[in-house]
Structures are given as C-alpha cells and as structure tokens.
Structure 1
Amino acid sequence: MRRPSELPPHLRHRPFSTAEARAAALGRGRTRARDLVSPCHGVRVAATAADTLLGRVHALAAVTDAVVSHLSAAALWGFPLPSGLGADAIVHLTSQPGHRAVRRKNVIGHQQFLAPEEIITGAHVRCTSPVRTWFDLANILSLDDLVIAGDFLLRRRQPLCTLSELDAYLPGRKGKPGSRNATHARTLMRPRTDSPKETELRLLLLRHGLPEPGINVPMFDATGGWIQDPDMSYEREKVALQYDGGHHADPGQRRSDIFRDERARDAGWRVVVLTQWDLTPFRPGMEPTAVSRVRAALLERGWVPAPASRPSRRPAPSPTAPPDRNGR
C-alpha cells in the first residue's frame, strides 16, 4: 500500500477544513487517506492526534466562527464541575447575533451577544473569558456548585479574576438569564480559597448554623513567628480547621501535616482535621460529622450559639395570595 504523500507544512500539526485542503491542491483521495481522521464534518486531522476536548474544539474552530462557551469553556479553564454533566463529551459553542447557532453532532449551539472583553483568543480557539464563563454556568449548576466554581475563579493561587473585577461585571448583567442565581452565589463566594472541598466544607458549616470561619488567615506564635495558614479558622476561639484530601496520605505530606498541627497546638490552638468521610452523612438526614466535630470544638472554646429567633404568632402573608377587592 502506498504511503500517503506528505501534507503541506501549514496543515501538518493542526486540524484543517476540506476547503483549506482544496486550496492547498489536495485531492479527495489525499483527504481520505488512512493517516487522517475526521473529528467533525468538513475537518481533517492526523489520526495520531489525541481525542481531547481541546482537540475537538480546535477542529470545530476550523469550520465555524463560534466561541467556545458554557461547560466547554469551564472545562478548558479548569473550573471544578460536578461529574455527569458531560463537559468533555458535548461541545458548547456561542455565535454572535446575526450568525446562526452551530448545529452539529455532539454540539450545543448558543446565540448571544459577547462583548470583546468577554472573548479570549488563545493559541487554538476563542473562548469566553473566565468571568463570563462563570456567569454562563449560573443557569446550569446548583447554587453550591456555582459558589464552588466562583471560589475557584477567585482562588488564592493564580486567580482567574479579582473580586473587584467580578463586582464590576455583575451589575452589567442585571436582568439577563442567570443574573439572580449569580448574584445570590456572589454573596456566598470568598476569595483566597485553595480547593473545592474547602468551599464545600464552609457552605456545610454555614447551612447548619455555625459561624463563618476565616479562610487562610495566618497563624502566629507568641513571639510573632508564623506557624501556618490553616484552611479555615476561628481566631477568637482559636480553632483551626484543616481539610485533608487524598494527597495528604503521602508519607512525606503526612509527616509535614503532623508537624504543622503540633506547632499550632503548642500555640494554644484546637486543630480539627477533616476528610471526605466527615462531609458525607452516614445516613440520609443524619448530621455530617464535620458539623458535629466543629461545633464541639467551638463550644469547648467558649463559643455561645445565638439564640434561636422566636417565630411570629402572626402568619406571614402568602406571596401568591391575590389582592383583595381594594387592590391590597
């Protein structure tokens, strides 16, 4: 069997459209050779190319003028997303008004206006900006998952957006689909987090009536020497919370964690180390052990829960009740 002829240099290491192939004087036989595959209609790429989300959107970019958006953009930016959303299987593309939404297999096409600052041009594709991508998730994710994605946007190391940039952006989206969800999530988002699980833990504690902990607040000893930045902490009660993910099982990391926590205890802190087991209730309706353990530590250190508010004897009016004859 004859070996396929070499491709022109400008087509060798990227997806290319059949129109580009014709412009390069490649015949139909060459574009159907065994060294090429068709990731989508009208596009060819080397058969050895890895089948990745970036590869698929790169191929689609060769034949559309659309912008990668929604879950696909979130996956490219690295947002933590719940499993089961199909972020890697289905490609989301947004077309500007005046252009038809993309209609292709395994593609969800959107049509909406994107301002120039909401589009980032990368080496291979155009993608919605991090803040616009997060906003587009507001109609897709649950509130907690949207907050987790938002904390990732504002994370401590290499944040994708600043808090001031986000707060300047949201008013301009008022009234748009998802704006209420995004505004609600913003009230629960906090900058300088390190992991999605830390956000999940913080939201869990708040939901069960515990006070909000500080995030990565530096801890010092009596001489002013730095000890650590605990994941979360209550400075007044001197209670530190550490969430240990899977990488903390590494022997070297474990030794470092033990030394870290011993120094904190020597400085008078109560350290509560939590894992995934503490976040998940043993039975439906049962309080997660993370809540009971943190509550016990706070009570031990003198925290006094706020008294529960007494319910009003007068029933609140129904929000769906029709007005009376006088229009009230």
Structure 2
Amino acid sequence: MSAGTAVDQVTLARAAMLRHPDGSLTGTAAAVLWGAGAAVADVTTTTELSGLTEVLVPGAGIRSRGDLDVRRAALPQDEVVTWPDGSDGAVLRLTSPARTVLEVARRLPTVEAVVVADALARRCGLGGADVVALADRHTGERGMARVRAAAALMNPRTDTPRRTRVRLGVLSARLPTPVVGAVVTVAATEEVVAELDLAWPGTRGGVLVDRDPADAWSRAGALLDHGWEVVSLGAGGEQPVAQVVERIVAFSARLDRLRWRDVPDMRGRLPRRPSAPRLWV
C-alpha cells in the first residue's frame, strides 16, 4: 500500500486479510463488500462502529488495534464466502449475508441494524427467516435476542435507509402494519396504476417518501383517479424522519375519520356525501 492511499473501510478490510488470512471479514465491512455501502454509511455516522473493520479469526493469540476489531470465532463452512479480489490472486473471506446481518444486529441498535439488514436483504435475496434460523443455530451466544428482533423487522422491499427508518417509525407509532412497495393495479385488467412506498389497502391510503415532486405528482394523480388517498412527504430528504412519521400519523387519523364519515348511521343515512380522494399536503 502506497503512502498516499486513502485508508477507508474496504482498504482496511483488505489489509486485515493479509494479516489474518484464515480470518473472515464481518459486520459493517462485510456489508459494504456485499453492496450495502449506502446503508452502512447511513448508520455508522451515528454509532460507535464508525469506520471499524471487524474480523473473526478461528485461532488464539489475536489482537485488535486501531480501527481493526479482531475477535475469536470458528465459523462453519456455510457461514463464509470467498472470492478473488483483484488481479493479483488475493482472496477475500467474508461472512455470508445472513451471518453478516447476525454480527451487525448483535452490536448495533435495532433500528440501525435493520437499516443494514434491509439493504442486505434487497441485494442478496435474504429473508428474516434465514437470519432467525442462523440465530437458532447460535442460541446461547451473546446478542441473539437482538438478532431475532432485527430479523422480525426486515423487509427487502424497503429501498433506501430513510424509508427503512420511516417504516420503523410507523411501526413504533403503533399504526397498522403497512404494505411496503405496494403496486396498485386495476382489478379488471391488472394494469399497473402506480407504486406506493407504504400503503394500507383496507383504507385505500398510501404514502410516498422522498420522491421527486414531478414523480410524486404523476403517481398521486393516477392513484387519485382510482380512489386512493395519498400523502407525499420528505421530498429531497430534508425533513427529519420523526417529522415525516408525525405527518403519516396525522394522515392515518384523517383516513380513519373519512372511513367513519362514510358509514351510515342507525337509520341508514350518511352524514354527508363521501368526499373525492385527494393528495394530502
């Protein structure tokens, strides 16, 4: 490595493999190499694992130093993946996607762990059941309850870290569980109308999060024509997640009022005519 080379997490991971050839990269470093770099960048800025490269080594006499965290662990063969790294024949050893989620979830707060887990699930075709099965294999080890909690919240259809945080905020607010990435179609023809980031089909309400205004208006217009109520929030990502969740809670309350307003009273009379669907702003 030349003196001018920037030492990022990937560079440190490759250096760790030279020092511990029998070890396996894990945690956020492995998640970056699996393609979840954006999610890792989102979570590590606010956690103690910022820039930390974790390596699991089967033997004794291990030592951590600086940003290299080396721990002892003998990994089963199906929890390690190897591939060539570059033209010099070097080989990287990474924990499997499921084991990577396990290591991330046992060390990070649940919300941060789910942000990374969603990205890995989307990139690697991973499901929460895969992580739970692995946690069951390691029952009795530290942090398995946290791993199972994170696995229960994973959803591969959540396509950005902020949308994962909004989805988890909605669940924390005790709203009904939304359908993630719901594709609305015309029943008669199965023609696709539009896709919503979060949707409640029972009340025909949906949320668009961080969509470009032109894209949001296009989607919302098609959905309004088919009887959906829509709210578009957080364009450009400038709204704090907590504020986005508060506005979704208010939107959900409006949907409930609309639903009850359109229910006949005991004499079969409607209090007022049902309102036309609209885009909530």
The answer to whether TM tops 0.5 is yes
Segments of structure 1 that go 5 or more residues without pairing to the other structure are 1-44, 249-253, 304-328
Q: 1:143 to 1:269 in 2, by over 3 A?
A: same
Matched, 1:261 2:209: no
Matched, 1:241 2:207: yes
SS at match of 2:20: coil
Q: 1:212 to 1:263 in 2, by over 3 A?
A: same
Matched, 1:154 2:121: yes
Deviation digits for residues 70-93 of structure 1 (CA, Å, limit 9, x no counterpart): 232233332624213365633222
SS at match of 1:197: helix
Larger Cα-atom Rg: 1
Look up the equivalent residue of 1:62 and give its one-letter code.
Answer: L
Q: 2:132, 2:148 within 8 Å by CA — same for their partners in 1? A: no
SS at match of 1:217: strand
Deviation digits for residues 166-187 of structure 1 (CA, Å, limit 9, x no counterpart): 3432321222111111112222
- Number of corresponding residues: 245
Indicate which of 20, 33, 37 corresponds to 1:64.
20
The structural deviation recorded for 1:164 is 4.6
| Aligned counterpart, 1:13 | none
CA distance in 2, matches of 1:281, 1:233: 18
TM-score, with length taken from structure 1: 0.66
Q: Larger % of helix: which?
A: 2
Q: 1:133 to 1:51 in 2, by over 3 A?
A: same
CA distance in 2, matches of 1:56, 1:160: 27
Deviation digits for residues 180-227 of structure 1 (CA, Å, limit 9, x no counterpart): 111122222234222222222222122222111111222013643211
SS at match of 1:288: helix
| Aligned counterpart, 1:213 | 178
| Aligned counterpart, 2:30 | 73
The structural deviation recorded for 1:278 is 6.0
Deviation digits for residues 71-129 of structure 1 (CA, Å, limit 9, x no counterpart): 32233332624213365633222111x33223334321111121111112132321211
Q: Trace 1:31-46 onto structure 2 (pairs within 5 A).
A: 45-46=1-2
Segments of structure 2 that go 5 or more residues without pairing to the other structure are 86-91, 262-281
TM-score, with length taken from structure 2: 0.76
Deviation digits for residues 8-29 of structure 1 (CA, Å, limit 9, x no counterpart): xxxxxxxxxxxxxxxxxxxxxx
Q: 1:95, 1:102 within 8 Å by CA — same for their partners in 2? A: no
SS at match of 1:272: strand
SS at match of 1:165: helix
Q: Trace 1:110-259 onto structure 2 (pairs within 5 A).
A: 110-124=71-85, 125-155=92-122, 158-221=123-186, 223-224=188-189, 225-244=191-210, 248=212, 254-259=213-218
Deviation digits for residues 279-312 of structure 1 (CA, Å, limit 9, x no counterpart): 3349xxxx82332233323432349xxxxxxxxx
Matched, 1:99 2:47: no
The structural deviation recorded for 1:131 is 1.0
CA distance in 1, matches of 2:251, 2:135: 37
Q: 2:131, 2:148 within 8 Å by CA — same for their partners in 1? A: no
Indicate which of 33, 37, 51 corresponds to 1:89.
51
Q: 1:298 to 1:278 in 2, by over 3 A?
A: farther
Q: 1:170, 1:183 within 8 Å by CA — same for their partners in 2? A: yes
CA distance in 1, matches of 2:13, 2:116: 22
Q: 1:154, 1:193 within 8 Å by CA — same for their partners in 2? A: no
CA distance in 2, matches of 1:295, 1:222: 27
Larger relative contact order (CA 8 Å, sep ≥ 6): 2
